[in-house]
Amino acid sequence: MTDSTPTATPERPAELPAQSPPVDPAATAATAKSPGHHGAAPAGRLSFWRGDSGEGARRNLGLIGVLVVLVVIGIATRPDLYGNSSWVWDNILTILKLASVVGVVTVGMTFVIIGGGIDLSVGAIVALAGVWATTLATQSYGTGGMIFTALAVGLGVGLVNGLLVSYGKLVPFIATLAMMVAARGLAAEISDKQTQVSSNSVINGIASTSPLGIPLLVYILAAVVVAGWVLLNRTTFGRRTVAVGGNPEAARLAGINVRRHTVLLYALSGLCCGIAAIMLTAQANSAQAAMANLYELDAIAAAIIGGTLLSGGRGTIVGSLLGVIIFSTITNLFAINGLSTEAQNMVKGGIIVAAVLIQQFQFRSFTQFLGRNRLTTT
Partner 1 sequence: MTQHSRDLSRRRLLFGGAALGAGALLTACTSNEAAPTAAQTKVAEAASGGNSAPGKQVTIGFSAPAADHGWIAAITNNAKAQAGAYSDVKFTSVEAGADAAAQRAALSTLVAQKPDVIVLLPHDGKELNAFGLEAMKAGIPVVNLDRAFPDARAYRLQIKGDNYGMGVAAATFIIEQLKAKGVSNPIIGEIPGIDSLELTQERSKGFADTLAASGFKVANRRPAEFTADSGQQAATGLFQALPKIDAIWNHDDDQGIGVLAAVNQANRKEFFMVGGAGSKKAMEDIQADNTVLKATVTYSPSMASSAISLARLIGQGKGMSDLVELQVPKEIVLASETITKENASNYLKLGF
Residues contributing to the site for partner 1 (CB under 8 A): 1, 3, 81, 84, 87, 90-91, 94, 97-98, 132, 135-138, 141, 149, 152-153, 156, 159-160, 163, 167, 184, 187-188, 190-197, 204, 207-208, 280, 283-293, 331-332, 334-338, 340-342
Phi first, then psi: what are they for 134, rounded to 5°?
-105, 5
Which residues, at least 6 apart from 132, have a Cβ–Cβ distance to it below 8 Å? 138, 149, 150, 153, 187, 190
Taking the least distance from each CB to partner 1, the nearer of 111 and 295 is 295
Distance of closest approach, residue 114 Cβ to partner 1, in angstroms: 24
Taking the least distance from each CB to partner 1, the nearer of 80 and 377 is 80
Distance of closest approach, residue 222 Cβ to partner 1, in angstroms: 18
Taking the least distance from each CB to partner 1, the nearer of 35 and 338 is 338
E strands present in 183-329:
196-197, 286-287
Taking the least distance from each CB to partner 1, the nearer of 40 and 294 is 294
Distance of closest approach, residue 178 Cβ to partner 1, in angstroms: 15
* CB-based contact 273:100 (threshold 8 Å): no
Distance of closest approach, residue 121 Cβ to partner 1, in angstroms: 16
C-alpha dihedral, 361 to 363 to 369 to 375, nearest 10°: -160
Is 197 strand, coil or helix?
strand
Distance of closest approach, residue 69 Cβ to partner 1, in angstroms: 19
Taking the least distance from each CB to partner 1, the nearer of 335 and 357 is 335
**What sign does the dihedral 210-124-229-275 (CA atoms) show?**
positive
Task: Give the residue among 333, 350, 330 at the shortest CA–CA distance from 77.
Answer: 333
Distance separating alpha carbons of residues 106 and 84, to the nearest angstrom = 32
Taking the least distance from each CB to partner 1, the nearer of 267 and 355 is 267
Q: How far is CA 128 from CA 74, 103, 143, 150, 239, in A?
A: 36, 18, 17, 8, 31
Distance of closest approach, residue 141 Cβ to partner 1, in angstroms: 7
Distance of closest approach, residue 137 Cβ to partner 1, in angstroms: 5
Taking the least distance from each CB to partner 1, the nearer of 101 and 118 is 101
Which residues, at least 6 apart from 241, have a Cβ–Cβ distance to it below 8 Å? 44, 111, 114, 115, 232, 261, 265
- In the chain, what is the greatest distance between 2 CA atoms, to the nearest angstrom? 68
